[in-house]
């Protein structure tokens, strides 16, 4: 039995998930992506307190994160052992972060 190009197109159309690709869902994902990027860019330069595992708390100026949000870039990291001018924190080590006065400009 030989397959034609039309059969291949028919198979590909049957394998797509139309619910995932609806225009409403695409618009919602784009809206959420834009909002996330605005939050990240809005906190750049703010002093943040990072709560890490093993009951560790450090503070630093938030500078950004990588494209996958796996690494957080900070400046003037204050740790129990001293101050580090530039550092990268693994997102998997961060439980949460606090930013005071997030609505004020510095």
Coil, strand or helix at 105:
coil
pTM: 0.71
Separation of alpha carbons 44 and 41, rounded Å: 5
Per-residue pLDDT of the chain (106 residues; tens, 9 = 90+): 555 656 555 555 556 666 767 889 999 999 999 999 999 999 999 999 999 999 999 999 999 999 899 999 999 999 999 999 999 999 999 999 999 877 755 5
- Helices then strands (H, E): number in the chain? 2, 5
């Amino acid at each position: 039995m030989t397959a034609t190009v039309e059969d291949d197109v028919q198979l590909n159309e049957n394998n797509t998930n139309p619910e995932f690709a609806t225009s409403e869902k695409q618009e919602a994902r784009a809206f959420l992506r834009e909002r996330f990027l605005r939050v990240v860019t809005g906190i750049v330069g703010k002093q943040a307190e990072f709560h890490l595992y093993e009951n560790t708390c450090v503070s630093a100026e938030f500078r950004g994160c990588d494209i996958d949000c796996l690494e957080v870039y900070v400046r003037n990291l204050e740790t129990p052992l001293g101050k580090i001018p530039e550092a990268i924190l693994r997102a998997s080590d961060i439980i949460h972060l606090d930013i005071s006065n997030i609505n004020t400009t510095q």
